[in-house]
């Protein structure tokens, strides 16, 4: 006797489908969909790359390819079906046309162009609708999309790796390697899911990083972003290889801009009153450029500046079981005179990654 497919089991499968779009769907949300009829999964799908099918359409096509009739079926989808014309037609209309009987959405779509209208359109067509099943998990997989839609800016995740006493490198700059290969590979997986990776000129001059994903297979590379207030970057820096890097600066050096842009990069001048890059303005600009998640890998000074400016949503910290002593810190924050001045966070997740600890903490 076949075990009954529960609502939670069906939505779990839909969330697994959404995870298949983790590295491909941006700037669109990562959405998964499964169709259930007569206690069987008859179709499943996930959001394709921009311009491709949304999850619901993929699931309907999958059912059709398997010769299954979706009329009267229940559709489990991790995000409310869209109701507007974007790069593709509305998924709500496709579900109505297909004649499904019920739609269960994990969470509503934060996009103002949808925001309840998708479910309303389904209900108006006589389709039973529900929302809220496993909403937290659905939110987490699209935390950047929700941030951009609701706040106009990406979800900013700051990654750092340190010893147990919070040191990231020796004073001479040596840092390879404090954490394990497993932790470094895991860090690349977090890089891969971001729309962009940001670092500062200090890190570039010290380490000359490629700032790309190498440890795992990914169909596309995140955008590389450099904060360089004085436009000190040299044309041979690895972060510029292949072009496409966005360089935020506080000075408009026309000659240097031409050189950098001739190589396929873009220079964006956003100064603050102190002659540095206006970091909150930078974050807002990334929201306008459809960046859902921003991954920061920078030095102590830029890390501290981003924290002081309120630009960071989450810390991703890898801690090695080692003590280094007097060395470089994760954040160049000023000394406090009262513990009431401390920056408070909440632990969101703590896991072992090889011999190290991975801590996700949110503000």
Cis peptide before 177 (omega within 30 of 0): yes
Any idea of the CA torsion for 182, 183, 188, 190, to the nearest 10 degrees?
Answer: 120
Point out the catalytic residue in the list 4, 19, 56, 293: 56
b vs e for 170-181, b when ≥16 Cβ sit within 10 Å of the residue's Cβ?
A: eeeeebeebbbe
| Burial category of 51 from C-beta neighbours within 10 Å (exposed 0-12, middle 13-18, buried 19 and up) | exposed
| 56 catalytically annotated | yes
Find all residues with CB under 8 Å of 126, minimum gap 6, and list them: none
CA 274/CA 290 separation, integer angstroms: 28
First to last CA, the chain: 49
Find all residues with CB under 8 Å of 291, minimum gap 6, and list them: 27, 144, 148, 154, 195, 196, 223
* C-alpha distances out from residue 12 to 36, 130, 324, Å: 13, 16, 43
* Residues across the chain: 363
Q: Annotated catalytic sites, by residue? A: 56
């Amino acid at each position: 006797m076949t075990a009954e497919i529960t609502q939670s089991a069906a939505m779990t499968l839909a969330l697994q489908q959404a995870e298949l779009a983790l590295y491909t769907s941006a700037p669109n949300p990562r959405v998964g969909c499964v169709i259930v009829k007569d206690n069987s999964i008859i179709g499943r799908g996930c959001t394709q790359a921009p311009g491709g099918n949304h999850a619901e359409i993929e699931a309907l096509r999958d059912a059709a390819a398997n010769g299954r009739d979706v009329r009267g079926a229940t559709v489990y989808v991790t995000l409310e079906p869209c109701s507007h014309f974007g790069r593709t037609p509305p998924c709500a209309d496709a579900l109505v046309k297909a004649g499904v009987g019920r739609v269960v959405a994990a969470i509503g779509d934060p996009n103002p162009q949808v925001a309840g209208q998708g479910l309303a359109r389904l209900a108006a067509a006589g389709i039973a609708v529900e929302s809220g099943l496993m909403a937290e998990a659905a939110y987490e997989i699209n935390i950047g999309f929700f941030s951009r839609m609701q706040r106009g800016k990406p979800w900013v995740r700051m990654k750092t790796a340190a010893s147990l006493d919070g040191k990231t490198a020796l004073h001479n700059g040596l840092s390879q390697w404090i954490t394990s290969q497993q932790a470094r590979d895991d860090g690349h997986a977090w890089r891969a899911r971001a729309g962009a990776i940001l670092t500062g000129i200090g890190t570039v001059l010290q380490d000359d990083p490629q700032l790309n994903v190498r440890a795992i297979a990914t169909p596309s590379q995140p955008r590389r972003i450099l904060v360089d207030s004085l436009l000190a970057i040299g044309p041979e820096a690895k972060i510029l290889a292949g072009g496409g890097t966005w360089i935020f600066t506080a000075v408009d050096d026309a000659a240097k801009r031409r050189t950098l842009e001739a190589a396929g990069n873009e220079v964006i001048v956003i100064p603050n009153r102190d002659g540095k890059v206006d970091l909150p303005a930078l974050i807002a600009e990334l929201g306008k450029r459809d960046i859902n998640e921003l991954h920061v890998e920078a030095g102590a000074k830029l890390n501290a500046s981003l924290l002081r400016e309120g630009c960071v949503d989450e810390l991703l910290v890898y801690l090695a079981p080692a003590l280094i002593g007097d060395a470089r810190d994760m954040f160049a924050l000023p000394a406090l005179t009262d513990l009431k001045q401390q920056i408070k966070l909440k632990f969101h997740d703590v896991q072992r990654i090889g011999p190290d600890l991975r801590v996700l903490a949110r503000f």
